[in-house]
Amino acid sequence: MCRTLVLHHELPDGSHHFDWLLEPVGTDPADPNARVLLTWRLPIPPNEAIGSTLAATRLPRHRRLYLDYEGPVSGDRGSVQRVASGHVEVLADTPGRFAARASLGGQSFCVEGVPITPPEWTLHFDPA
């Protein structure tokens, strides 16, 4: 299984959200600037959403360096702090469906997602 983590992203305007980053199989770990991490913006961490359905925003792929980074985000976009980490297996990642099995922050779960109007999706989290 590959790495996954949740970053608490505080923005300069005082608002915040959680960025869930997932490492897909087959990515090259040698380049920290490679934009390979699947990324979702969520209102709460996914390991706190088990048994729920959340609205989520699919973000552009993030750089691998965020797997090990905490601190200010370039371009005056706030700062990030890790709140959970674990492992993930991405089962499907197509324009019409997302599915994964994850262990994050001591919780194991499965997630299924469908697009509403991209980049907006609905993600449903079930216990594993």
**Tens-digit pLDDT profile for residues 95-104:** 999 999 999 9
Name the average pLDDT for the chain.
Answer: 95
Q: Is the pLDDT of residue 32 over 90?
A: no
**Tens-digit pLDDT profile for residues 70-96:** 999 989 999 999 999 999 999 999 999
Q: Is the pLDDT of residue 61 over 90?
A: yes
Q: pTM for the complete prediction? A: 0.94
3-state secondary structure the chain: CEEEEEEEEECCCCCEEEEEEECCCCCCCCCCCCEEEEEEEECCCHHHCCCCEEEEEEEEEEEHHHHCCCEECCCCCCEEEEEEEEEEEEEEEECCEEEEEEEECCEEEEEEEEEEECCEEEEEEEEC
